[in-house]
Amino acid sequence: MLTIDSDVAVLGAGIVGVSTALHLQARGRSVVLVDRRGPGEETSYGNAGLIERSSVVPYAFPRSVLTLLRFALNRSADVRYHWTHLPRVAPWLFQYWRHSSPRHLADAARDMLPLIERCVSEHQLLLKDAEATHLARETGWLELCRTPKDLAFSREAAERLGEYGLSYDLLDRSQLHDLEPAINPSVFGAIHWRDPVTVSSPGAVTKAYAELFLRRGGRFVHADARQVKQSDGHWKLPSEAGEVRARDVVLALGAWSTDVTEQLGYRIPLAVKRGYHMHFSPPAGVSLNRPILSEYGGFVLSPMLDGIRLTTGIELAPRDSAPTPVQLDKAEAIARSLIPLGNRVEPEAWMGVRPCLPDMKPVIGGAGKHPGLWFNFGHAHHGFTLGPVTGRLLAEQMTGETPAADLLPYRACRF
């Protein structure tokens, strides 16, 4: 069997793995990128495409009794669960709830800030080098408010973020109409978050970054990461093209990372929040200029190359169980009252899995028990946002540079 020798094998070619591979390569390492599919074809393909500079507070477990009661009924469009999955996920949910207390949440926001602050600039560097700037829009996104009460509530929430210096505008009905004429004039107003950048195809962006990696001399191979083994001071993995052999290996397998970490003896409490999308082809003359969020419907509508993409909120269900896109139907009904959506483009909904840790922070850094084993996964709701910056930070740590942000809050041994 042929041997493919390299300094580092990066397992997983989603936005996190591809970005990590690029940053290692930029520091002189020879890198092989490994995936069982093509680059950017799982969760990094189907998300809402927000590089979410305004999400300075992580997505927490709700603590209001009214919200919890609403979720308990299991009928809302934003969060849904499989009843049979609850006993299994309950200990994880308890940890998530605990980490969502005001004090812990403030700690998590402080830890994540150096990453969020760099998310747009890190993407911009890669977009430029990958000649993919045409896929990005500097238009921000809109949080729709159906009623004056909704707008007042969202305004207070935005004002509480004052210390972070985020740029936003409060829009009344006519200002909203000027920005997005297709939105139903019954919508009362919106908050326009101006710092985030959004893209018209997160899958195409991830593929463009992977092509940049190849152009710069990187190698991509298909293999099953679960077969990775360490022997004689090297990591080895059989692939279609021969045996991959590397001194270092990075696990960037998103929601599948624990398939490998468990085999290697690590207990990392990764759970998944599933989500769906569907594209719609709006009638002639109807378009969106930027993504819109309906908090009430728990969905985002994003203008994409394939049509208007409706992405749903959270489904708590086993990672590998069959899709149950009930939320998509509910969200679609609400979305149709906001904008003429036209027909569904695909026959089936797409499903993706957000890799989530209970303290709302990814795992980044050395594994601990195995020399040459590194982790970069668990980016939850913001993996597309954070892939490039966390790729840089890990590459800096692996090559002996001082990372641009402290990686201590992300160490694997915190669990």
The CA distance from 11 to 415, in Å, is 22
Q: Which residue in the set 4, 52, 266, 330 belongs to the binding site for ligand FAD (CB under 6 A)?
A: 52
Neighbours of 139 (CB within 10 A): 17
Residue from 42, 143, 150, 332 touching ligand FAD (CB under 6 A): that is 42
Phi/psi of residue 402, each to 5°? -85, 115
Contacts of 1 (CB under 8 A, 6+ apart): 238, 242, 243
Pick from 3, 5, 37, 414 the residue near ligand FAD by CB under 6 A. Answer: 37
Return d(Cα 9, Cα 241) in angstroms, integer.
14
Residue closer to ligand FAD, measured from CB, 14 or 358: 14
Binding mask 221-240 for ligand FAD (x = CB under 6 A): ---xxx--------------
Q: Give the closest residue to 360 by CA, choosing from 327, 386, 323.
A: 386
Going through 28-181 in order, the beta strands assigned E by DSSP cover 31-35, 50-51, 79-81, 136-137, 141-145, 168-172
| Contacts of residue 197, Cβ cutoff 8 Å, sequence gap at least 6 | 51, 53, 120, 123, 124, 136, 137, 138
* Least separation in angstroms between CB 350 and ligand FAD: 8
Contact 147, 228 (CB under 8 A): no
Is 7 or 41 the residue whose CB approaches ligand FAD more closely?
41
CB of 50 to ligand FAD, least distance (A): 3
Please check whether residue 199 is in contact with residue 137, taking contact to mean a CB–CB distance below 8 angstroms.
yes
Site string for ligand FAD, 342-381 (x = CB under 6 A): ----------x-xx---------------------x-xxx
From candidates 249, 384, 389, 390, binder to ligand FAD by CB under 6 A: 384
Name residue 248's amino acid.
D
- Residue 277 as a binder of ligand FAD (CB under 6 A): the answer is yes
Helix (H) or strand (E) holding 23: helix 15-26
Q: Quick check: helix, strand or coil at residue 368?
A: coil
- Cα 100 to chain centroid distance, Å, stands at 19
Q: Which of 256, 374, 375, 410 touches ligand FAD by CB under 6 A?
A: 256
Which of the stretches 22-30, 43-51, 95-103, 330-338 binds ligand FAD when contact is defined by CB under 6 A? 43-51
Piece of 36-44, 145-153, 238-246, 337-345 that binds ligand FAD (CB under 6 A): 36-44
Under rule CB under 6 A, residue 304 binds ligand FAD: no
With CB under 6 A as the contact rule, which of the stretches 94-102, 185-193, 254-262, 337-345 interacts with ligand FAD?
254-262
Q: Which stretch binds ligand FAD (CB under 6 A): 128-136, 153-161, 164-172, 253-261?
A: 253-261
By CB under 6 A, tell whether 12 contacts ligand FAD: yes
**β-bridge pairing 31-35 and 189-193:** unpaired
Residue 189 to residue 195: CA distance in whole angstroms: 19
With CB under 6 A as the contact rule, the residue among 89, 144, 253, 270 that binds ligand FAD is 253
Q: Which residue has the tokens 């915190």?
A: 414
Task: Report the residue from 4, 8, 10, 15 that binds ligand FAD according to the rule CB under 6 A.
Answer: 15
Between residues 15 and 339, which has the closer beta carbon with respect to ligand FAD?
15
Comparing CB distances to ligand FAD, the nearer of 81 and 188 is 81
Q: Which of residues 71-90 bind ligand FAD (CB under 6 A)?
A: none
Task: Between 173 and 194, name the residue whose CB sits nearer to ligand FAD.
Answer: 194
| 383 is a contact residue toward ligand FAD (CB under 6 A) | yes
Q: Which is nearer to ligand FAD, 175 or 200 (CB)?
A: 200
48 binds ligand FAD (CB under 6 A): yes
Residue 180 is a binding residue for ligand FAD (CB under 6 A): no
Question: Which residues, in sequence order, are CB contacts of 149 under 8 Å at separation 6+?
Answer: none
Q: How far is it, in rounded angstroms, from Cα 62 to Cα 184?
A: 29
**Distance between CA 335 and CA 62 in Å, rounded?**
23
| Three-class secondary structure assignment of 154-200 | HHHHHHHCHHHCCCEEEEEHHHHHHHCCCCCCCCCEEEEECCCEEEC
Candidates 179, 382, 388, 398: give the one binding ligand FAD (CB under 6 A).
382
**How many whole angstroms separate alpha carbon 249 and alpha carbon 96?**
29
Q: By the criterion CB under 6 A, which residues form the site for ligand FAD?
A: 12-17, 35-37, 41-44, 47-50, 52, 224-226, 252-256, 259, 275, 277, 311-312, 352, 354-355, 377, 379-385, 387
